[in-house]
Each structure stands twice: as C-alpha cells, then as structure tokens.
Structure 1
Amino acid sequence: MLTRKQHELLCFIHDRLNETGVSPSFEEMKDALDLKSKSGVHRLIRALEERSFIRRLPNRARALEVVRMPERTIAPPPSSAQPSPAPKVPVAANDSVIELPLHGRIAAGMPIEAMEGQSSLSVPAALLGPGEHYALEVSGDSMIEAGILDGDYALIRRTETARDGEIIVALIDDAEATLKYFRREGQMVRLDPANHIYSPQRYKADQVRVQGRLAGLLRRY
C-alpha cells in the first residue's frame, strides 16, 4: 500500500505526464501536496523510487517516469476515534515456532504504530533471541546488498537505541518508516541503504526515532 501523500504525488506526476509529457517541478509538487518544504517531496520521491513506482531518467532535468500505478488503494490513516489495540505478545505455538505480529510493509511509509495487530507470522524460535519482536514485509530494493530482498520478512527486535552499523527500523518525523543502516555524524543521523544506486539519507537527530533492530530474516520460496 501507499500512504495518502505518496499516492497523491504519484497521481499528480502521472496526470501531468499524460497532459504535457513533462514531469512537474519539485516546487509544483510541493504546492500540489500542500507541503511546507521541498524536502518532503524528496522523501516521497525517494520512497516511490525505492518501491519501483517511478524512476529518474538520466541526463535530463525534471525527468521522472511512472513505471507502474498501485494495484490497491492507499492505506487509511489510523483513526483517533478508535482505541488502539492491545499489543500482541508473541506466543509459542509449539517448542519451535513463535507467532509474531506482522506490521505490514516497511517501505509503505507508515509509522509502526499504525500497523499494530493486522496479522501474524509463524517464525522458527531459533531465529530469535531474547526480547520482544515483530515482523515486517520488505518492499523495494534499497537493502539488496545486505541480502535483504523485496518480499522478505524482516524480524525486528523492539528497541529505542542503536549502535553505528546496525540495521534498524527508523521512524522519520513520526510519519515515515524505513529499514536502513544506522550511523551517527555529530548532531546528525545518517541512514545508509545497501544499494549503490541510492544515496544516504541525513537527518537531525530529533527527526529520527529508532523503532527496532534487525534480528533475523525469513524468506519464502
């Protein structure tokens, strides 16, 4: 699923390309989505690019191409009128399997809290260590050089702290979640992809909240 803003931006680019044959400028995208700055547009573009909805055309200014449109509708925002479900506690199904809460697709750009209690995933207990865990379905190719592929299930240990070089779930501006390597650069935080075609992302430390640390990976064939 796409977030509402990602969906709005993708449709805006798609419609403009159909009308004029030229992708809109970042300033036009910012105004169309009623964003405060173009940095928000850059994050949305990066998320759509990582999920292969759009791609940049080399050696051309303002060159974006829509690769595909989403098959399903956007994810609804969490309703404040409804009480939040109680967090699931992993329960051992037998001596070797644990049921973990499955919180959706990590590149969907949603806070982890918005995905609580949607479904569960059966995981071999041997893949997990101590602590509370949850699972996320990986979407996109930004971590392929770390062996994390589109469609894999990332097993995440809940924590609010991380050390340099660890792969974490980072929540950016309380609005957008991503799976990346964690690095500190003075007062800044750098989130590194594991794919040479993507650039590191840098944020002020107070823009990033650690939501968990990669504990294992599950792949279905």
Structure 2
Amino acid sequence: MLTRKQQELLLYIDAKLKEGGVSPSFEEMKEALDLKSKSGVHRLISALEERGFIRRLPNRARALEVLKVPEVRAPVAANINTPAAAPPRAANDVMDIPLHGRIAAGTPIEALQGTDTLPVPAALLGPGEHYALEVAGDSMVDEGILDGDYALIRKQETARDGEIVVALINEEEATLKTFRREGQMIRLDPANRLYDPQRYRPDQVQIQGRLAGLLRRY
C-alpha cells in the first residue's frame, strides 16, 4: 500500500516519462508535490524503489524507470499540473524531425542552423512541433544530458522555472540550460558544479523551446 504522496509522485513521474521520455528533476518533483525540500523527494523515491515501483537507471543522472503503477489510480493532487498524454503511437513508428546542428551545454555557441533531419521513435515525442539539437559540452551532465546526445526540443516561446530550455542569447547564440527567474533577471543554470549560472536581462533571452526528450547512440 502506497501513501498518498508516494502514489502522487509515482503517477507524476509516470506521466512525465510518457509525455517526454525524460523523468522530472528533483526540483520539479518538489514543486509538483508542494514539498519543502528535495530531501522529501529522496525519501519518497527510496520508498518507491524499495517497494518495486521504480528503479534508478545506472550511470545516468536523473534517470528513473517506472516498473508498475497501482491498478486503481487515485486522483492526482490538484496542484500537479501535468499535460494530457498524447495518443499512443505504434512502437515502430519513426518520425523525421529537423536537426539544427549543435547546441552548447557549456559556453553558448551558434545554434538553430542546418537542414539535416533525425529519425526519432514517435513514442518519444508528445504533442506539438519538435526539432533536434546535438549536445556539445558537459555542463548539464547532472541532469543526464551528455556530450553527443541528441536533445529533442518542443518548440515554445515561454518557460516556467525549472524547465530545461533552449535559450537564444542576444539573437545570435544559444545554450541548453535550466530556466530561472531571479528578480528582474533571467538566470540560466548549468547542472555541473564546474560551471557558473549565466544571468541576462529579459530582453537578451529568447526561449526557443523546452527539452522533451533525449536520444543517445551507442
């Protein structure tokens, strides 16, 4: 038997995985469940893991797999705002989406160029228009985003705190970072202690999309 918070977290993780193929960050889980600290998220995840509902994928940061969900789903808390899942696609359905070159997960570099396409399993994509960028750099490794990965980006022009976004800086350089508002400034956070946050005026930052999934070739 799961507690209410354990079930809420399990359903939230399951919905986010189905939506974009990437498990939510600890900050997203904390905000979704209205918890005061990430330590509460750690305790809930450990409890779900011990009960066999989820498992952590080895050698990958922020990587969770839902093994099972309760047969009878209780209503999810009203403060969890999870978009409706897209209609299921055939498992072998593949879509070609635009591949716009490389994007920095470190120092910003020129992006949104190139005319190639990337075949992507349709099941990894939710609703909306998508494009792909090849990740260059290691500043997002603690979010499980590695150099050489393909970031699957859903096009949108706005962002909420805690979302990983493609941010175009001064209309010429783009970077992949976690979006935050800090007073009158925009802060773009790396996920690697070796890198410092980047701060810009709102007029310097244009949101080009948010991370919807990752594709990794071995």
Q: CA deviation at 1:109?
A: 1.4
Q: CA deviation at 1:186?
A: 1.7
Could you list the runs of 4 or more consecutive aligned residues of structure 1 that deviate by over 4 angstroms after TM superposition? Answer: none
Q: Counterpart amino acid of 2:110? A: M
Q: CA deviation at 1:199?
A: 0.5
Q: TM (normalized to structure 2)?
A: 0.56
% same residue: 71
Q: CA deviation at 1:160?
A: 0.2
SS in 2 for 1:106: strand
Whether the 8 Å CA contact 2:159–2:210 is kept in 1: the answer is yes
The one-character-per-residue Cα deviations of 1:64-85 (angstroms, maximum 9, x if unpaired) are xxxxxxxxxxxxxxxxxxxxxx
Residue matched to 2:202: 205
Whether the 8 Å CA contact 1:156–1:212 is kept in 2: the answer is yes
Distance in 2 of aligned mates of 1:125 and 1:194: 28
SS in 2 for 1:206: helix
Distance in 1 of aligned mates of 2:186 and 2:110: 20
Residue matched to 1:16: none
Residue 162 of structure 1 pairs with residue 159 of structure 2: yes
Whether the 8 Å CA contact 2:103–2:134 is kept in 1: the answer is yes
Residue matched to 1:72: none
Residue matched to 2:182: 185
Distance in 2 of aligned mates of 1:190 and 1:176: 16
Residue matched to 1:42: none
SS in 2 for 1:126: helix
The one-character-per-residue Cα deviations of 1:44-91 (angstroms, maximum 9, x if unpaired) are xxxxxxxxxxxxxxxxxxxxxxxxxxxxxxxxxxxxxxxxxxxxxxxx
Distance in 2 of aligned mates of 1:119 and 1:137: 12
Q: Counterpart amino acid of 1:157? A: R
Residue 143 of structure 1 pairs with residue 150 of structure 2: no
Q: TM (normalized to structure 1)?
A: 0.55
Equivalent runs, 1:62-77 vs 2, <5 Å: none
SS in 1 for 2:136: coil
Q: Counterpart amino acid of 1:152? A: D
Q: CA deviation at 1:111?
A: 4.2
Whether the 8 Å CA contact 1:191–1:201 is kept in 2: the answer is yes
Residue matched to 2:110: 110
Residue matched to 2:85: none
Whether the 8 Å CA contact 2:102–2:135 is kept in 1: the answer is yes
Whether the 8 Å CA contact 1:193–1:199 is kept in 2: the answer is yes
Q: CA deviation at 1:187?
A: 1.2
Residue matched to 1:176: 173
Residue matched to 1:124: 121
The one-character-per-residue Cα deviations of 1:113-160 (angstroms, maximum 9, x if unpaired) are xx15x2000000010000000000000101000000000000000000
Q: Counterpart amino acid of 1:219? A: R
Q: CA deviation at 1:95?
A: 5.8
Distance in 1 of aligned mates of 2:103 and 2:157: 17
> Higher relative contact order by CA 8 Å / sep ≥ 6: 1 or 2?
2
Question: CA RMSD of the aligned region, Å?
Answer: 1.9
Whether the 8 Å CA contact 1:111–1:174 is kept in 2: the answer is no
SS in 2 for 1:103: strand
Whether the 8 Å CA contact 2:101–2:111 is kept in 1: the answer is no
Residue matched to 2:192: 195
Equivalent runs, 1:53-92 vs 2, <5 Å: none
Distance in 2 of aligned mates of 1:102 and 1:133: 10
Q: CA deviation at 1:110?
A: 1.4
